[in-house]
Structures are given as C-alpha cells and as structure tokens.
Chains A and B, each alone.
Chain A
Amino acid sequence: MKSRGYTVIGLVLTALMLFPVYWMLNVSLTPQQDMRKSPPDLFPLHPTFEGYRAVLDDQLPYLGTSLLIGIGTVALTLLIAAPAGYWLAKLRSRTGGALSLALLIAQMIPGIVMAMGFYGFFLDLGLLNSWWGLIIADSTIAVPFGVMIFTAFMSGIPGELISAALIDGAGTWRTFRSVVLPLSRNAIVTVSLFGFLWAWSDFVFANTLDGGGSWRPITLGIYKYIGNNNQEWNAIMATAVVASVPAAVLLVLAQRYVAAGVTAGAVKD
C-alpha cells in the first residue's frame, strides 16, 4: 500500500527530471510552421520527420567522425591505462604514490586550459584540424580516470593467481595478457564506456583544435546548426536526439558499469 505511493511519487519525480529530454524529442518532431506557435504543442500530434531527414542529409559525416574518434580514444586509453594500472596495482615501487597523486590532480585541470595548451603544441606539430590529433586530446580526459579504475580493479586480483602464472614460466607480459587482462573485463568495459562517451561528447577540444577540419565530430555539427542562426529547431533537436543515442544505449546495456564509474574514486567502501 505504502510502497505504491512511493512508486507514484517516484514516477512523478522522474517525469519532471526527464521533461527536458521529452521536450527535445517533442521539438524534434514538430513541423517548422508550428515551432513558434503559442501555446506550443505539448505532444507531437502532427509529427514530421523533416528534422531527421536533415540529420541524414547534413550530419552523417559528423556522426561517422565522432564514431571514429570515440573508438580511437578508447583504443589509445586502454593501451596506456591498462598496463599502467597493472604496474600501480602489482608491480609498483615507491614512486607509485606520487604518480597516483599526479593522476588525481590531472583530472582537476580545466578543459579550456588544456585546449589552449594543446593549440600551440598542435600548431607546431601540424596536428590542428586532424581527427587523430583530436583523439590524442580527447584521450587526456579518459587516461587518468582509466589508470585509477584499472589500479583499483587489479589490486583486487589475488596475488596467488599471478604467482602461479609466473611459476609456470610465464613472463610478466604473458601473465598480464593471459591472466590479468581476462580477469579485468569489468574494468575494461567501464573504462571503454566512459572513454567513448567523453570523446563522443567533447566540445571544447573539438571546437578549439578541429574547428576548421574536414573531419569534424557531431558536437560541432550541432554547434554549426546553432551558430548559423538556424531557426530550424526541429533539425537541431533531431541531431541532438541522434547524438544522445550512445548515452541511451549505454544506460540500457551497461547500467551497473555506469554507476560503478561515477562512484569510482569518489567513495571508498
């Protein structure tokens, strides 16, 4: 009886919280001539797919670039963070503590400061406006986080498993590859999810380092729509809906990893 009351309140609160998401969907389906109607249509009674057609016409290259940059960022992040996490968890010497501290501080540096520093650096290297330069920049958001997740996770792998592998004659690298990595599946999933999502969502680095590139991510696709003083809000919101798909997929497929990632580092239990 009482429980049902809570469920009702919970539903109402969730509806309130998600209203902007609903509104984005609603506007994406609203015909252009009804956009400035007063009062606005609260439900898409006459849905149009003009907005989504505009996405197909204009935004596919941007979406492809974002996919490429997301995957590249995940690959680079895993390549650097997984071995480093193993070192910090199982092989480290005394310098490990200082390194962990540096990683924690690295996560606190504002993105715009990094972007400004990267701008001059990339100008020298000729990396401005290139998709793989953007992969490097985007990975800086995920690498410190990734190392921390891998360290925490690999610390929990029983030492006996590792020494058994070593006694069987496997080298450090073989042990890492065939014992530690397979056991770290959860950490790999968590780091990949967040690495992808952050790269996919990045706007600061993209706008600073890839603003004039021929391979630009979807965040700049949306920004260009807004910046052109484009009044076709159904197209803007349709692009926003499509750009939200990875977040939605993530939530459905990997909810427990998401919660694990949010709390990692913040709360020790």
Chain B
Amino acid sequence: MALNPRVGGGWSRSSPRPFGARQLAGLAFIAPLLAYLSAFYAYPLYRNLDLSLRDYTVRSFVQGDAPYSGWDNFSTVLHDPTFWPAMRNTMVFTFVSIVFQYAAGLALAVFFNRHFRLASTLRALFLIPWLLPLIVSASTWSWMFNSESGVVNYGLHLVGVDPVGWLTSPDWALTSVIVANIWIGIPFNLVILYSGLQNIPAELYEAASLDGAGAWQQFRRITFPLLRPVSAITLLLGLVYTLKVFDLIWIMTKGGPGDSSSTLATWSYQLGFGTLLPKFGPGAAVGNILILIALVFGLLYIRVQRRQES
C-alpha cells in the first residue's frame, strides 16, 4: 500500500498510482460527513428557502405544489406590524445580554484568577447554569418571576418595592427574559475569558506592582488590553449565539404579552408552528432574515479569528 502523502512524502512520490487505494480510503473517511451535511444541513436549508419563496397553505405543504411567489413572503413580513418590534427586541435582547454577560464574566474571571482556596471548585460550580437544559432554567425563572408568589417579588417586598408583573406586563417581559439569559450566558464568558487570562504572563503584573500600579491600574493597563483578542472572539461568538435564542423566550413568555418580548426567532416559530393556521411561508422568510443577520456577525467572527491566528 502507498504511504500517506502527508506523512511520508518521499515514499509516495515513488508510488506508481498517485490516486490509488490511499485516496480511495481517504474518501471513505470524509464521504459520510459530506453525505450527512448535504442531507441534513444543506437540504433542510434549501427547503426553508423554498418555503419562503412560495405561497404555502397547509394543503399545498403536504402535497408540495405551492405556486412560486417570489419575494411576496418577505414583503408581507417586512410590512407586518410585528416586524419592527421583533427586530428591535432582537437587538435589545442580544446587545444587553452580551454586554452584561461579558462584564460579569470578565469581573468573575479576574476574581477567580487570584489564587485562593476553593477557587477551582467554585469556578466549576459557576458552570451549572450553562449546563442545565434550557427548559429547566426557563421554567425555574418563570416561577421565580411569578407576579403573586414569585421569590423575586418577595425580595423586592423586603426592600420596600411594589410587586412587578415580570412576565405579565408588556413593560417588563423583555427585561425578564434578558435577566434569565444573562444568567445562562455568564459561565460561557467566564470560562473563555479565564482561559484567556491564563496566557497573560505573570511577570507583567509583578513588574507593574513594582512600579507601584494598583489593582485597577493593572487591570486597565495590562489585563484589558492583552485580553482584547479573546474579548473580541467572546463577544462575537456571544452575539451569534444570542441572536438565535429561542427556547428560553418561548417557554417563559411565548413572545408576549402582545409582541412585547417577541424576537425574530420566536416570531418565526409563532408564524410557522404557533397557531392553528400555520403561515409557513412568512415564518420561513423571517427565519431566513435571521440567518442573514447571524451570518454577518458570523463572518466577522471568522475574519477576526483568522487574523488572530496569522
């Protein structure tokens, strides 16, 4: 058998068949993935695009003979009164979530970077919110935010604040799901930023404290600037992940009351599956708009990451 050309380059040159058994065997390793990606990624995405470009009803969805309708679904969606609230909520949800997750994650990473007893155990415990199934976190927060019997309102009562209709008032529903989402996202930020801190040489801090720099000075002059590449990656990745959050909002508020906490993700699902009379076309159109937004930030992430590697 010919040798792997990457492993033993000198040998493979003398091989009589450059595309022999080795390449064929190599193909067998990657073919399952290619088949898998085509069938279970590319095809569903194609189906979704097709859905958004046709005028589907429940009947034609089953029979598959819906007429082509061009950009009609997109235009319907863009002119829907829910579009701008959902867009605004998506942006608020995403940006507020990642700003707080990042700030809390960074503060905790710096804190845990000081070596004290139990530090690694406590840091591990901080992972729990991220590991719990979303439906578990979402239903727990739902009950904590309950207007009459929730522990959050009880806490407010103790400090003399009137009860808030966290999930039932249009003014507070978005805030409530953002709070729960920040809680879930902190561990992710903590772990990545903490591993970034490990790569900052300790000598820099020693030199700085010899020069008389205090803790805040050290953070501002050393930690934060040197952590910038990791921060960029964390924020962009957080952006892409937060844009597509669905479970949490759906379970806690279903996007309501009204449209007050509905995002592009929940609205898309609401259109396609949330009613007795599904609007698959517009639902898929919203989904595709969401993909487009995610891809913009996703490609930005890839660019930043590539630049850091080189």
Residues of A that sit less than 8 Å from B by CB: 3-4, 6-7, 9-11, 13-14, 17-18, 20-21, 23-24, 27, 35-40, 79-81, 83-84, 86-88, 90-93, 99, 101-102, 104-106, 108-121, 123-124, 136-137, 139-140, 143, 147, 159, 162-163, 166-167, 169, 171-173, 176, 197, 200-201, 203-204, 207-208, 218-219, 222-223, 226, 233, 236-237, 240, 243-244, 247-248, 250-251, 255, 258-259, 262-263, 266-269
Evaluate contact between B29 and A222: CB separation under 8 angstroms: no
**Complex Cα gap A78–B116 (Å):** 39
Evaluate contact between A166 and B7: CB separation under 8 angstroms: yes
Partner of B302, one of A104, A197, A200: A104
Partner of A23, one of B112, B119, B151, B251: B151
Q: Is the interface of A mostly helix, strand, loop or mixed?
A: helix
B-side contacts of A236, CB under 8 Å: 139, 143
Residues of B that sit less than 8 Å from A by CB: 1, 3-4, 6-8, 22, 25-26, 28-30, 32-33, 36-37, 40-41, 43-48, 51, 61-62, 64, 108, 111-112, 114-119, 122, 124-137, 139-144, 148-149, 151, 154, 157, 183, 186-188, 191-192, 195-196, 198-199, 230, 233-234, 237, 240, 243-244, 246-247, 251, 265, 268-269, 272-273, 280, 283-284, 287-288, 290-291, 294-295, 298, 302, 305, 308-309
Evaluate contact between A4 and B117: CB separation under 8 angstroms: yes
Residues A40 and B149 in contact in the complex (CB < 8 Å), given A10-B118, A20-B137, A121-B47: yes
Evaluate contact between B132 and A244: CB separation under 8 angstroms: yes
Partner of B128, one of A119, A137, A247: A247
User: Considering residues B41, B115, B124, which has the most beta carbons from chain A within 10 angstroms of its beta carbon?
Assistant: B41
Evaluate contact between B196 and A86: CB separation under 8 angstroms: no
Partner of A112, one of B119, B131, B246: B246
Evaluate contact between A259 and B294: CB separation under 8 angstroms: no
Q: Is the interface of B mostly helix, strand, loop or mixed?
A: helix
Given contacts A93-B26, A121-B47, A172-B22, could you give 14 more A-B pairs where the C-beta distance is less than 8 Å?
A20-B141, A35-B149, A39-B154, A80-B36, A87-B30, A91-B6, A112-B269, A112-B290, A120-B51, A136-B40, A140-B41, A163-B7, A259-B191, A267-B233
B-side contacts of A83, CB under 8 Å: 28-30, 32-33
Evaluate contact between A84 and B135: CB separation under 8 angstroms: no
B-side contacts of A93, CB under 8 Å: 26
**Complex Cα gap A169–B1 (Å):** 8
**Complex Cα gap A238–B238 (Å):** 31
Q: Which 10 A-B pairs have the closest CB atoms?
A: A117-B44, A110-B244, A201-B133, A84-B33, A6-B116, A247-B131, A172-B25, A117-B48, A87-B29, A113-B287
| CB pairs A–B below 8 angstroms (18 shown) | A6-B111, A23-B151, A37-B149, A39-B157, A87-B30, A90-B4, A110-B290, A113-B268, A114-B45, A116-B273, A120-B61, A121-B47, A219-B135, A222-B139, A251-B128, A255-B124, A258-B127, A262-B188
Evaluate contact between B195 and A269: CB separation under 8 angstroms: yes
Evaluate contact between A219 and B122: CB separation under 8 angstroms: no
Cβ distance B19 to chain A, nearest Cβ, rounded Å: 11
**Complex Cα gap A81–B30 (Å):** 9
A-side contacts of B198, CB under 8 Å: 269
Evaluate contact between A40 and B29: CB separation under 8 angstroms: no
**Complex Cα gap A207–B272 (Å):** 12
Evaluate contact between B117 and A163: CB separation under 8 angstroms: no
Evaluate contact between A247 and B4: CB separation under 8 angstroms: no
Identity of the chain A residue whose Cβ is nearest the Cβ of B141 in the assembled complex = A20
Evaluate contact between A267 and B287: CB separation under 8 angstroms: no
**Complex Cα gap A218–B136 (Å):** 10
**Complex Cα gap A139–B40 (Å):** 9
A-side contacts of B148, CB under 8 Å: 36
Identity of the chain A residue whose Cβ is nearest the Cβ of B49 in the assembled complex = A117
**Complex Cα gap A137–B132 (Å):** 20
Evaluate contact between B192 and A113: CB separation under 8 angstroms: no
Partner of B291, one of A113, A208, A218: A113
A-side contacts of B247, CB under 8 Å: 203-204
B-side contacts of A105, CB under 8 Å: 295, 298, 302
User: Considering residues A81, A112, A136, A244, which has the most beta carbons from chain B within 10 angstroms of its beta carbon?
Assistant: A112
